[in-house]
Amino acid sequence: MLVEKAYAKLYGGYDMIVGGQELFCLQDLYGGLPSSYPYVFSLKRGNLIGLTNTTNHSVAMPLGLKAGHAYGLVKIAQLQIQGQLETVVQLRNVWSDASSDAAAAAGGVPWARGGADWKQCSLHQKQRVGYQLADDGTVWLTLATCLALFSTVLESRNVYQFPSVDPRNVDAVPLYVHVIASGWKGVTCGGREAIHLNPQFQFTTADATDVVVHLEQPCRRANMQADYPCHVAPVVAAHAVVGRRKLDVAKDVIATGTFVSNRSCLVELSLPFEGTYAVIPATYAPFESAFQVVVASPVPLAVGFVSDDDIPVCSVCRQPLKGSYRTYTSPDGVVAEHVCQGRCADEYRSMHAPVCVDCRERIEVVAGRFSGRLFTLEDG
């Protein structure tokens, strides 16, 4: 009750914590990185895992479980009964009561507390999995029953969990975490159509490694909002140049989150080679808001920032480049100028097209009049 009271005070009262998303409650309470996925069970060391049904709230639930509620996953265990292995799941159930267990056991619900299945288990097996006959606020189900009742796994991820790290050696693995607080504002509210205008950060690694990138926007409850008006997702691109804004993002994207109306988005990726990578906290549509980015890795990363003053502008209209644009280089391939598509591109070509030595007009395509082909005379 004290934790609930403190949590309500954090967000301005009990009315602000009615309903909501269990995933981000776990993040607020324990500090893990939130993620969810369907029909996968994975108890990794240090992770908090819960189950919920997000598809059918009218499904009948045994053992006093309630449809639409979330339940913490305590453990998954295998028991040997009459020469066969049975996988059972223990769930934390704050609404549990002894009468529900007794009714389930009498009704023949598999692995209900005090039921026939547990009576066939040896005392050693019961002690190994932590089974108690007395009500301890948990229920036991078969794995198959869990798959039938629950559609989604909620996970508050321990950031030590990387694909290349053996969970048995996790205590010996160093962890490097970088937390960046910034915001989308003004021109940097690029949205997905001008993703290069969003704020950019960089990290450089000397080795191939695993990286977790987590992008989070302010909680809607703190702003008294019914929903998240901003859809966010982190984008990671390779071949970045230290200190320079990356413009050609699309061709080098190696990982991106899914733009959804949610508090945060997490991506995991394995970097195949050393180098500098760009991290772009992006919004689906231009939107001004604060955000926080967490970058975690088992190897050291050199993190840098790209100045918001380094915003590319069109060389014709002098406005920030939005949407698609064209890049022109000088004959020596050194100078690059960026031009908006459409009217600006037409004007740029007109300004820089070569001049006819006879009529002194620009040599450019004129529909129905001139193809734009250029011929060089023998005298140059």
76, 78, 168, 245, 253 from 129: Cα distances, Å: 9, 9, 20, 54, 45
The number of beta carbons lying within 10 Å of the beta carbon of residue 191 is: 19
> Of the listed 47, 53, 57, 69, which one is catalytic?
69
Which of the residues 47, 53, 93, 262 is marked catalytic? 93
CB 233 within 8 A of CB 259: yes
Q: In whole angstroms, give the CA distance from residue 117 to residue 129.
A: 14
Beta-sheet strand order (sheet of 138-142): 33-38, 152-157, 48-52, 70-81, 84-92, 138-142
Token pair of 214, please?
């987590």
* Cα–Cα distance measured from residue 204 to residue 303, given in angstroms and rounded to the nearest whole number: 7
Measured CA distances, 241 to 18, 277, 303 (Å) = 47, 8, 13
- Both tokens of 254, joined, read 């190696």
Range list of β-strands (E), 158-308: 176-184, 201-205, 209-216, 232-237, 253-256, 264-271, 275-283, 289-297, 302-305
Verify whether residue 338 is a known catalytic residue. Answer: no
Query: In this structure, what DSSP letter does residue 280 have?
Result: E
Tell me if residue 93 is catalytic.
yes
Report strand pairing: 48-52 vs 176-184.
unpaired
- Report which of 180, 165, 177, 141 is spatially closest to residue 51, judged by C-alpha positions: 141
Token digits of residue 56: 């059918």
Q: Look at residues 26, 28, 22 and name the one whose alpha carbon lies nearest to residue 47.
A: 26
Residues assigned a catalytic role: 69, 93
